[in-house]
Copies of this chain bind each other. A is one copy, B any other.
Amino acid sequence: MRTSSVEQLILDLFAGQPVETAHFTAQEIYLQLKPQLPAVNPSTIYRALERMTRSGKISISDMGKGAAVFEIVGKERHHHLVCETCHQVITLSDDTIRPLFDELSRQFGFEMTTNHLVLFGHCPACRRKK
């Protein structure tokens, strides 16, 4: 067994990356951890990711990559706009979304936990091309 849990290694993996653009699939995480943990079992990674998502350390979302991607949850929430044609990703400050979430809280009494919204569309450049 390892002295440190897989969770810490996953966090380390994100640590070297800019928060807003580091999006990894479960598989990518598994492969990146392999060199350090040659004997680690895929299910351990999947379970760690599930735990970390549930506890709010990371978030899971569909960025149109075909597989879910995980992202570290930082101090400041942010969101993404993804172009379905060229796959360009734009980062949105939480200021854009917060009013909506506040309104939903007010209206339905919900405490919002979604902390990473991914919205799809077509960017200006791709719209012009058509």
Contact = CB atoms under 8 A, between A and B. Distances in A.
Q: How many copies does the complex hold?
A: 2
Contact of A112 (B92, B114, B119, B124): B119
B96 A123 contact: no
A122 interface: yes
A80 to B, nearest CB: 11
Given A97-B100, A100-B97, A122 B111 contact: yes
A109 B96 contact: no
Interface string A74-86: 0000000101100
A129 to B, nearest CB: 12
Interface string A83-104: 1100000101000110011011
Interface residues of A, number: 31
7 contacts: A62-B68, A96-B103, A104-B121, A108-B123, A110-B121, A110-B122, A114-B121
Closest 4 CB pairs of A and B: A109-B124, A110-B121, A112-B121, A111-B122
